[in-house]
Structure 1
């Protein structure tokens, strides 16, 4: 792929057509920026998330394509079948090496995503050698060092290495874009990045306005009766989601004879283990595979409650991307999470749901009962989330801010380093 001079060059491990995680946001940003400026290019991997296997039809050593009028170059890298910490680190390193040895041309600015931290650090190292005067933006979706600490993955040495790499990457960037004010505080306080080099641009819902669903038909399709309470969790099934506690809540509901069904939709590193737990004990929890866009939005609207579940101790590492879709669906949110964490703060800021303790199946079930006991209040929470999505989480506003930030950086670089 030939990258035109003056392009905005985006480096991201994840991109369309991946349906979940950061891919929808990166893809929407690229599409939005392409409608505002002439040249844009993407260096990315072959689609593989959240299944952790390359999508059929992809997998060539290199592949170029056009997506929404944008030049996209895909590079083959190591994709682990079991994404535990060490194989994931190797995956990121192999991708970073491939990005670093690719042809970059003469971009006007560079945007690198974290995750993937290690590949973005290798890209930054290359840029320091060959594109030193090119503005370099790191867009932070997750904070790795905090994630390792909060999920208990990786030993002390691994955590120190990751923290040092993360700190170097963020401090070396022209600008660090974060998705929440709490992230901005941590990037400044933990890594010493000056406030003036940190920009907060919120994630948005990547779903268009949802067409009304035939709720009765959707529930009948999935075998959900009209009188049972359906609680739906969507997205990645990884360590930080702690979804075994949801299976336990379903077991407790079965023991008590409570008419509550928990539905886990998606894929991820913990899915097989979760399915084994569901199959081995009586529970009202069921697992469904990832859904297409229309089926996904229909299911959100057909649920009584939408669930965010996090492992105890997870508080600062990420803002769950599923929240933007949940708010768009207009259903009340139940967040089983740290009461002082980012997820709890977001749900309360939107007045869109209820927060209960993470890792406590009884508290989770009690939260369901509390929401269902006052349907009018629950409906109002759903409306509040929808309004929050249409104002605070507006896509056009976010992409306009990103475009303005890039324009300012490019102009400043041109003034400092005239051609």
Structure 2
């Protein structure tokens, strides 16, 4: 460790709508990045975040009724601003969600001294715009890290008015990325999309995500017994967000076709109620709440196969955070996704599972039955996933790439200029 957190040197602002205690999506990556910069760089790290709400799309009970607060999270100061949280997705509700994030952030930005750089976790359009505006106000480098692109995602999401949202979102993304010093992308499949939004290739850097969970340590049989999963029963587990994009109806249909399978959906999201209604007549489907962080790896490892699904209409550019966790669990992966997207590319690269067409329950069942018929082959696939996570998706490597992105951006500014800039707060900046 270089210095104790906040002991001097750099001051950094990370803008991420999602942050701890959220355990799904980009929240864990934003959290671990902020902690890394505070503890390994000795930086004074501030985070501008929303109230915890994902993936349930309900404000965490501990934060309800709060408008503005500052949390001290492991030496990181988290400045939270209240915003609207839509229980169901539509164009109007999504616009209200983003609009209240942007409006409250502009009305009450963090009251901090001038940072050395502003970093944003995208796809939050409001978060990206806030970060870009704050970077311009302070006259410092702006570094968006593209986890997803809202324009492309909205067009394929299936939400009411998705086409209108996509058009507006793409326009906002173009404007937001135009002012970036450098742009990080978590997968090669984003490069062309970002270039199409007007970012020159020489300003794009690959900054892949990492496996943010620890390997399992408890015997599988022990966890299965605690969960009530019978030995000898093939368990398919999907963990994470339950949204329209995931197309999780395919797993309900698979359970209907193959009653010998036990299908488990663990998580929360906007379509959980719909899935509960579909699953009600099926004794071989179970829905679980999101697991606590200390139990999560054990539950993943207790399954016989881990499933990632997406609707056939989705252009899968990114790599879902669940996939990096799946690899660590050392169980085979069944990916019911488009064959030309980021998830399919990662599955081929890792050789850790089976790829089947999206929204095809028959093919999904066939893959599950094939794995069940050859446990040794299934274990070998899982071992390859764990080895791939260890060699390609380590936390140290992922955080190191983001630190290199920051260092490169800071190096574009001569040290004397940087020192003079820090000494003179900009006009109109928050105190």
> 1: distance between equivalents of 2:164 and 2:57?
26
Give the equivalent residue in structure 1 for 2:359: 359
Check whether the contact 1:136–1:175 (CA below 8 A) recurs between aligned residues. yes
1:404 maps onto 2:404 in alignment: yes
**Selected match of 2:176 from 169, 173, 193:** 169
SS of equivalent residue, structure 2 residue 412: helix
Please tell me whether residue 148 in structure 1 is matched to residue 154 in structure 2.
Answer: yes
1:263 pairs with 2:270: no
Root-mean-square deviation over aligned CA pairs: 1.9
Change (3 A) 1:215 1:126: closer
CA apart distance, 1:317: 4.1
Residue number in structure 2 paired with 1:10: 14
Q: Which moved more, 1:20-29 or 1:190-199?
A: 190-199
Shift of 1:145: 1.6
2:34 to 18, 30, 35: 30
Q: Could you give the per-residue CA deviations for residues 59-92 of structure 1, whole angstroms, max 9, x where no partner exists?
A: 3211112111111111111122223342122112
Q: Any idea what SS the aligned residue of 1:21 has?
A: coil
Structure 2: runs of 5 or more not aligned: 1-5, 421-431
8 Å CA contact 1:146, 1:317 repeated in 2: no
TM-fit CA distance, 1:314: 1.8
CA distance in 1, matches of 2:162, 2:228: 45
Q: Are the counterparts in 2 of residues 247 and 283 from structure 1 also a CA contact under 8 Å? A: no
Pick from 185, 188, 195: which aligns with 2:192?
A: 185
Gaps of 5+ in 1: none
Query: Superposed, which structure 2 residues align to 1:235-274 within 5 Å?
Result: 235-254=240-259, 259-274=260-275
Deviation at 1:411, TM superposition (A): 2.9
Matched, 1:229 2:230: no
Q: Structure 2 length as normaliser, TM-score?
A: 0.90
Aligned to 1:295: 295
* 2:221 matches 1:216: yes
**Do 1:89 and 1:118's aligned partners in 2 also have CA atoms closer than 8 Å?**
no
Number of residues of Structure 1 aligned to a counterpart in Structure 2: 408
Deviations 1:96-122 (A, max 9, x none): 222223135311000111121133224
SS at match of 1:355: strand
User: Residues 80 and 88 of structure 1 are in contact (CA less than 8 Å); yes or no, is this contact kept in structure 2?
Assistant: yes
Task: Tell me, in whole angstroms, the C-alpha distance in 2 between the residues paired with 1:95 and 1:312.
Answer: 31
Q: Is residue 51–residue 267 contact of structure 1 (8 Å, CA) maintained in 2? A: yes
Q: Distance in 2 between matches of 1:298 and 1:270?
A: 25
Report how far residue 351 of structure 1 moved.
0.5
| CA-to-aligned-CA distance 1:163-185 (integer Å, 9 cap, x gap) | 11112212221111110111123
